[in-house]
Chain A
Amino acid sequence: MRRALLTAFAVVLIATPVAAQEPPPTPDRPLADATQEARAQALFNDIRCVVCQHEAIADSPAGIAADMRRLVREEIAAGRSDQQVRDDLVRRYGDFVLFTPPLRGGTWLLWFGPLAIVLAVGVGLLVMARRRPVETPALTAAEEADLARILADQAVRPDTDAKPSDH
């Protein structure tokens, strides 16, 4: 009896939270055309669910994400290109809706920053390498003794490929 009551209770509990908040999201109806559906799926991963934290509409269980998926499918079925679908979403929801930020004045640094960092560091290293001589001045006797004292440890197995100059 307890089991049956619990079961009934559980079914109500599991069913109600969804029913109470909003109508359940309409189930996804994939497009009949496989290539169109593949395009839609690819787009879903680049479109952010506008009420979620950091989720693509491909992953989000939210009702609005389901609506957005349906919208994308409808537009693709109507023959729009991927770019037109994106543009339409940006018109409705703003740049926020795309996980790929647009390339404009404000996002220049975002897009080209990584390249600039690699180039800057690379050029800096080249300049440094040209300025510096390759050979090390030999350590003074005092320095050698100092180093030997600090690094000495008879128990260490020698590194077979190390040359004496490595230490």
Chain B
Amino acid sequence: MIVELGAFALILALVLAVLQTGMAAAGRLRRSPVLAGAAEGAALACAGVVALAFAALILAFAVSDFSVANVAANSHTDKPMLYKVAAAWGSHEGSLVLWCLVLTGFGAVLARARGLPFGLKASAVATQGLLGVLFLAFAVFTSNPFERLDPAPFQGGSLNPLLQDPALAFHPPFLYAGYVGFSVCFSLAVAALIEGRANSSFWPAWGRWVRPWALASWAFLTVGITLGSFWAYYELGWGGWWFWDPVENASFLPWLAGAALLHSAVVTERRGALAGWTTFLALLTFTFSMLGAFLVRSGVLTSVHAFAVDPERGLMLLAILGATSGVAFALFAWRAPQLKGGGMFAPVSREGALVLNNVFLTAASATVLLGTLYPLILEAANGATISVGPPYFALTFNPLMIAALLILPAGPLLSWKRGDLKGVGQRLALAAGLSILIALAGWMVFEPKKALSAAGIGLGGWLILGTLAEVAERLRLFRAPLAETLRRARALPLGAWGTTLAHAGLGVFVLGAVVETGYRVEAARALAPGQTIEAGKWAVTLDSVGVVEGPNYLAEQGKLTVTLRDGSAPRTVTAERRFFPTGGQTTTEVGLDFRGLDDVYVVLGERGRTAADEPAWNVRVWWNPWARLIFLGPAIMALGGLLSLLDRRLRLGVNRKAAA
């Protein structure tokens, strides 16, 4: 019964989305606040109804209702409750409902937003409604998660055991909140193209309206990608955290474009400049989100992450992508030339630095796009098969990002309109000098000696110190009395603190990524109980291997002791190889020993025999120095995004209160 209600709710949501679109468009054309208000009501109701459908789906999973085909295919009574619930978004159909929930949920917040001018809001609500119509129709007509099975099986087929992990349970909700949150930026951009005038007071206000959505989505996406990467790090048991896999790239594209959007929207807000470019990025970012959905769900890519592979549905997604983005970019090509205006600026200025940031970020996303799609295009063109992997991105993507990171600390120090490069140089001289010292220290401390990795350590230091130098400058730290500094710290807007945190977090990430990639040590050997393997300064001894029984798996569990090579500082870790009888799959549970910033990463492999014919297990050990920073950095960045979002200046509705 509840399942049928869920199916009905989904259809009702589609009807409400159609109403929302129609009434908002009609309200806009007739300038009728009543119709536009009704459209906003429909948007709220639509989100509520999708939430009901999603709740019904979760309930079906929670009680293991195997008469629902989707539950039977993706769940099992033995699964822990967390993964029963998480399985609701673990399949194509379920994750599409989550997608629609985020889309309509953000649409409802947009509908409630105060202070937007009538025309812009009605157009944006109509656009958001139209996106809802397309994706809800896709869900209702091709991917109904509530389809029944008759007869119902007694037991379900379970969820891919690799996905039964806390990080991955929360990864999709965050990822989708980011992906789909950008839909509001898309709708606001389409609305601006319809309503916008070549009028310098429109664009700063529009920049202010679009920025919180971009910030929130980008912060969510940062958390989502980091959770996914952390999962890959400790669940796949390969010792790595980013593989330039096509699906990883698909999530990285909207992140890069969204980062560019954030920065370009600042210029539009403060100076009214780059209006066309910011609009373009807003369209592009959500286009990348939809492209990602298409790539992951259509089966055109080979990836460890691809799921719910179905060419026919892929074609429908491609049609949605082509229709929405095609129309939006056509609108852009037609209207953008008429929307010129805004402040002028000298090449050396805050605006100039942000433009340069945008050049590098968009070129970087174009590179990722090229590397991801090129094998597909080439194979379609002449049948040649190539692989584009980490070495390609190291040679193309990394130089672009390094260039962007080198100029980053200078940006916030430059003044608007016309900057003083010499003054900025003086203010950053100390940070630059210290960064060179850090690079030298890195070269001396880490073994083996690697010039490039040492330079990378210096770059990470440059980002952190350069960012701190900027705050110190604004607070007149050590140059003014302490009371004056504190007064300035209180007066500094949250947005400025957010910027500082995000940039410093990037520096933390760079440090972790460079040191882990440059200096990790790997060792592998078949160990009989009692034997030891060494990796760098660590020694790992296999103490014992036993069999343990989990809720829905059986595992070989190895107990290992990690010590320094001289035997001091012992700690026990457990590493498992789990076998899931329902699906017949085997997974590894990595043993992680956190040592300060470093990880000692232990994987228990297959059972074999030593030369002396004793039972032995293939044990792989990685010493991953500073690996903690790789995940800490993005967390700090997301926190920075959150802080900026809390800045009063960005809150919607503030304007209206002031005007009243």
Contact = CB atoms under 8 A, between A and B. Distances in A.
A161 B474 contact: yes
Contact of B549 (A10, A52, A99, A150): A10
A7 interface: yes
Nearest to B371: A110
A125 B386 contact: no
B385 A24 contact: no
A114 B346 contact: no
Contacts of A118: 359-360, 363, 400
A54 B362 CA distance: 25
B331 to A, nearest CB: 22
Interface of B: 199-201, 204-205, 208, 236, 238-240, 243, 245-246, 270-271, 302-304, 306, 343-347, 355, 359-360, 362-364, 366-367, 370-371, 374, 378, 381-382, 384-392, 396-397, 400, 415-418, 474, 488, 491-493, 496, 522, 524, 526, 547, 549, 554-556, 577, 579, 581, 584, 586, 605-608, 618, 648-649, 654-655, 657-659
Contact of A110 (B374, B418, B655, B658): B374
A117 B655 contact: no
Given A7-B547, A95-B385, A151-B655, A156 B418 contact: no
User: In the complex, which of the residues A15, A117, A155 has the most CB atoms of chain B within 10 Å of its own CB atom?
Assistant: A117
A92 interface: no
B411 to A, nearest CB: 14
A133 B492 contact: no
A121 B359 contact: yes
A71 interface: no
Contact of B302 (A11, A53, A114, A134): A53
A110 B370 contact: yes
A79 interface: no
A72 interface: no
Nearest to A95: B386
B256 to A, nearest CB: 13
Given A106-B378, A149-B659, A153-B648, A136 B343 contact: yes
Contact of B245 (A27, A54, A159): A54
Contacts of B400: 114, 118
Contact of B355 (A55, A100, A125, A153): A125
B607 A114 contact: no
Given A97-B387, A114-B367, A153 B649 contact: yes
19 contacts: A14-B586, A15-B607, A46-B390, A54-B243, A54-B245, A61-B605, A95-B386, A99-B388, A106-B382, A107-B378, A107-B386, A118-B360, A122-B359, A134-B417, A150-B201, A153-B655, A153-B658, A161-B474, A166-B270
Nearest to A9: B554
Contacts of A166: 270-271, 416
A151 B387 contact: no
Interface in A7-29: 7, 9-11, 13-15, 17-18, 24, 27-28
A36 interface: no
Contacts of B655: 150-153
A105 B396 CA distance: 18
B579 A17 contact: yes
B389 A56 contact: yes
